[in-house]
Homo-oligomer: A and B are copies of this chain.
Amino acid sequence: MTNSNPKNRQERLDRVFNPQTVVVVGSKKIDEYNWLKNMSTFTGKLYSVQIDPNEIPGIEELGITNFKSLKEVPEPIDFVLCAVPRPVTPRIVQDCIDVGVGGVVLYTSGFAETATEDGIRLQEAITKMAREADLMLVGPNCMGIYNPKVGVRFGQDQVAGVSGHVSFISQSGSQGSGFGLECQAQGLNVCKVVSFGNGVVLDSPDYLEYFAQDPECQVITMYVEGTRDGRRFFKTLRDVAQRKPVLVWKGGQTPDSARATRSHTASLAVSSTIWDALIRQTGAIPVHGLEETVDMAKALLFTKPFTGARLGLLAVAGGHSVEIADAFSMQGLNVPALTEASYEKLASFFSVIGGSFRNPLEGGGNMASEEKVIDILRILEEDATIDAIVVEMGMFGRRNLNVLERRVKTLVEFKQITTKPLWSCWSGGVTRVDPEAQQKAALELQEGGVPVFGSITRAARAMGKFVRYSRWLQEQ
């Protein structure tokens, strides 16, 4: 989409991402009126377009006004979600053009990604229509837009009415959906997600440009399998990465996985090494997989770049203190001995029976007292040999959720006074906390500015990468 001027294009995309009127075309009983239910949290006006008389009563039962055509909707339409059968798509696209909608998401799939003659021909037809009319078309073969703030969703498990600062651009619907749900489960609110599928009109660079100027977005993350215009992709990435951190997860990095990207989004594979080098040259950060994408987003959202790598590590138990020290030191970070002054202060109150304070610190029974925890943290704050602090959130069973609540409060309070980067992490493995309690704790920690990572290992990997990135930034 390069035929309109950039500023105008950003404004027009903003209308699509923050609509006041949404119309779902083609919602059906067999899908349990899925798309209309997805939009049930939308804060603006929601309408349906459906011509099948058998479908209309079910739609009206949901309390939604149905029209027979987009042309009948009696007000300006900002956003159309099109879920009609493949052969009908050209007619809906034409209606969108005629009515002058803000933009349309084509959920419908079965185009070039199927490598069938019919699919390719139909995709070409739709693309030509949309480009000639300068229609903001998202997709086809995609889930479209998730903006929790205005309640535009593409899944009923997605939370609405919240607002975060990380956005995700995804060529894949399932990864787009996965990113939102993973952030949610980890207590991290997202800004916006766009799943753009085959990207025939609006491609990843368009979304990069949009999020670059979106004041609500601080960190841009993306999942790409390929791009129609490599030159434009890398040029845009370079421009945008100067303004905001961009994390790029590339799907299809081996000849074998290329068989999947070809049939998924008709993209070719690029080897992992070449790709990572190209991405790094632009100033963006290559990441691999959903977990690393979310972890690095957290690192960037909650921490200013830091290059000092001497860590104070506080674990809850002995084996975990060994594990946390192994994990961080194997990432090239240091876990130094503390100063004698710190050891003297610690020795005055810290019980070493079932505990240890050499660094890593093994809290043991000392962690039963939040006063002791805060005293330990203050000593790490004052110790000049320590650049950053990591606290293991530990193994809170279902029976001691009150300890978890107190610990969250302690860390959020300490965050107000510390001048050092402060991270936390769960112990790892399958959660042993009630998942809802864990999500709530994560949300509170992160609202208090303390990122919490899914495991010791994940925190260590994220910090290793973050410190290397910070050092690279410093050299620029």
Enumerate chain A interface residues (CB-CB to B < 8 A). Answer: 86, 109-110, 113-114, 116, 141, 156-157, 170-178, 181-182, 185-186, 223, 225, 251-257, 259-265, 272, 289-291, 294, 316-323, 325-330, 334-337, 352-354, 356, 358-360, 362, 395, 397-399, 427-432, 435, 454-455, 457
Instruction: Tell me the complex Cα distance, A157–B433, Å.
Output: 11
Interface centre among A354, A359, A428, A454 (most CB of B within 10 A): A354
CB nearest neighbor in B for A261:
B322
CB nearest neighbor in B for A186:
B430
Which residues from chain B contact A435 at a C-beta distance below 8 Å?
Answer: 430-431, 435
Give the oligomeric copy count: 2
30 example contacts (A-B, Cβ-Cβ < 8 A) are as follows A86-B353, A109-B353, A109-B354, A114-B352, A114-B356, A116-B352, A157-B397, A170-B319, A172-B317, A173-B318, A174-B317, A178-B427, A178-B429, A181-B429, A185-B429, A186-B430, A223-B319, A251-B323, A253-B330, A254-B326, A254-B330, A257-B326, A259-B325, A259-B359, A260-B356, A260-B358, A263-B356, A264-B319, A291-B457, A294-B429
Would A360 and B251 count as touching, CB distance under 8 A? no
Distance of A373 from chain B, by nearest CB (Å):
17
CB nearest neighbor in B for A361:
B260
Distance of A118 from chain B, by nearest CB (Å):
10
Instruction: Tell me the complex Cα distance, A50–B290, Å.
Output: 53
Distance of A183 from chain B, by nearest CB (Å):
9
- Given contacts A257-B322, A430-B185, whether A358 and B178 have CB atoms under 8 Å apart is no
Would B257 and A335 count as touching, CB distance under 8 A? yes
Would B185 and A320 count as touching, CB distance under 8 A? no
Would A175 and B429 count as touching, CB distance under 8 A? no
Instruction: Tell me the complex Cα distance, A110–B352, Å.
Output: 7
Instruction: Tell me the complex Cα distance, A409–B227, Å.
Output: 40
Distance of A132 from chain B, by nearest CB (Å):
26
Would B260 and A225 count as touching, CB distance under 8 A? no
- Given contacts A182-B429, A260-B360, A264-B318, whether A323 and B289 have CB atoms under 8 Å apart is yes
